[in-house]
A = this chain, B = another copy of it.
Amino acid sequence: MAKNIVKTEYYKIDKKITFESGVEFGPITVAYETYGKLNDAKDNAILVIHALTGDAHAAGYHSENDKKAGWWDNMIGDGKAFDTSKYFVVSSNILGGCSGTTGPSSINPETGKPYGLSFPVFTIEDTVKIQKELLDYLGINSLYAVAGGSMGGMQAMQFVMSYPDMVKSAILIATTSRLSPQGIAFNAVGRNSIISDPNWNNGEYYDKENKPDRGLSTARMIGHITYLCEEAMYNKFGRKLQDKDHYDFHFDVDFQVESYLQHQGQIFVDRFDANSYLYITKAVDYYDPATKYGSLQNAFKPSDAKYLIISFDSDWLFPSVQSKEIVNTLMNLGKDVSYCEIKSPCGHDAFLLEYDVQSKIVKSFLDNHMTEKCNE
């Protein structure tokens, strides 16, 4: 079968946007992709939002030779959960990212140099504001659905809170309405690791030969531990040694799990910017609509959207209890809400991996049949 070839496009928001901090910032270029066709009524658009280190490329391939499909390709496409024969799916790179949307590694037109730390600290609300600008540009005034996993789920729920009349439904997967102190702690240690790398150089490393790769790599390794659960680690690695039968009695890699993490750290630095990692994790730490709106009820109250909440039983980073808090809030408000906890050995990463069960639930929800049975 021929590959589904897609292209990243760019929209320049050629004005200043007021951030939650009060800072006015612009212009901002947004990298985005679309899949499927917007119908004449313009009522079949679905905004899909990526997680911490994702990008606009959610589905398809960039060329016939491209070996890697978009990050949610198993969910988006003809006949898939986000069925592109019915829906018009929009995906964009987050504000502050490093995959096409303006971020700290972008050139400041006023100085001709990368922003670095002069890029303003932004919030989840700001990232959603940028998505809204993109939708305006695309002529989309109403969303059939907004969907995201992990940090993408935070943005999806914030989209409902920021633009309550615009959203028909929201799909919030493996997410939380605020990070636990443990979650903040993991992010803080990751940032500390980057900032401690002498090559970070207060964020000014773009023209240097050596970048803060070691710090960023350690941050990614910490992240990966939290994305897997203990069961997943046992299944994947156990205590198996890497390419050897006996301990080596030195400090090279002994165990497969060490090798895996080092590899994940090393490949990450080739595709991600250390400053972007700082900014985006900070936005995640800051996210807390219950405090901002007075309560989570207040935050969700204005919208009449339908909700699908999905969590995974082995996710200890954003555990089910945090999803249930959202579900309970919505039920107390009398909103239309479906909730599924999917059994999975994949930990937090399940939202990217468990597409079989997840697809059925999402597809059914989008086709307006509420899921009646879970975990089958």
A residues with a Cβ closer than 8 A to B are 21, 23, 117, 120-121, 178-182, 184-186, 188-189, 191-193, 195-198, 214-215, 217-218, 221-222, 225, 228, 230, 233-234, 236-239, 247, 249-251, 254-255, 257-258, 261-262, 265, 278, 282, 285-286, 288, 291
Residue of B nearest to A223 (CB): B189
Given contacts A181-B233, A234-B181, contact A257 B218 (CB under 8 A): no
The 8 Å CB contact of A217, one of B196, B198, B217, B221, is B196
Q: Is the interface of A mostly helix, strand, loop or mixed?
A: helix
Contact B258 A188 (CB under 8 A): yes
Chain B residues whose CB sits within 8 angstroms of the CB of A191 once the complex forms: 251
Complex CA–CA separation, A350 to B257 (angstroms): 28
Taking the closest CB of chain B, its distance from the CB of A177, in whole angstroms, is 11
Contact B189 A214 (CB under 8 A): no
Given contacts A180-B230, A180-B234, A234-B181, contact A189 B261 (CB under 8 A): yes
The 8 Å CB contact of A178, one of B121, B188, B239, is B239
5 A–B contacts from the bound complex (CB under 8 Å): A21-B249, A188-B261, A189-B261, A196-B214, A218-B218
Complex CA–CA separation, A255 to B182 (angstroms): 11
Contact B195 A193 (CB under 8 A): no
Residue of B nearest to A246 (CB): B21
The 6 closest A-B pairs by CB, nearest first: A196-B214, A181-B233, A121-B249, A188-B258, A21-B249, A181-B257
Chain B residues whose CB sits within 8 angstroms of the CB of A257 once the complex forms: 181, 184-185, 188
Residue of B nearest to A203 (CB): B251
Given contacts A193-B218, A196-B215, A217-B196, contact A250 B121 (CB under 8 A): yes
Chain B residues whose CB sits within 8 angstroms of the CB of A286 once the complex forms: 247, 254
Contact B196 A218 (CB under 8 A): yes
The 8 Å CB contact of A185, one of B217, B233, B278, is B233
Complex CA–CA separation, A225 to B178 (angstroms): 18
Given contacts A218-B189, A250-B121, A255-B285, contact A239 B184 (CB under 8 A): yes
Given contacts A192-B218, A218-B192, contact A184 B255 (CB under 8 A): yes
Contact B189 A221 (CB under 8 A): yes
Complex CA–CA separation, A179 to B357 (angstroms): 32
A218, A234, A261, A288 — most chain B CB neighbours (10 Å) = A218
Taking the closest CB of chain B, its distance from the CB of A16, in whole angstroms, is 17
Contact A239 B192 (CB under 8 A): no
Contact A282 B218 (CB under 8 A): no
Taking the closest CB of chain B, its distance from the CB of A213, in whole angstroms, is 9
Contact B237 A181 (CB under 8 A): yes
The 8 Å CB contact of A188, one of B21, B255, B285, is B255
Complex CA–CA separation, A239 to B189 (angstroms): 16
Complex CA–CA separation, A258 to B258 (angstroms): 26
Residue of B nearest to A258 (CB): B188
Chain B residues whose CB sits within 8 angstroms of the CB of A21 once the complex forms: 247, 249
Contact B193 A258 (CB under 8 A): no
Residue of B nearest to A237 (CB): B181
Chain B residues whose CB sits within 8 angstroms of the CB of A185 once the complex forms: 221, 225, 233, 257-258, 261
Contact B225 A182 (CB under 8 A): yes
Complex CA–CA separation, A218 to B249 (angstroms): 24
Contact A195 B239 (CB under 8 A): no
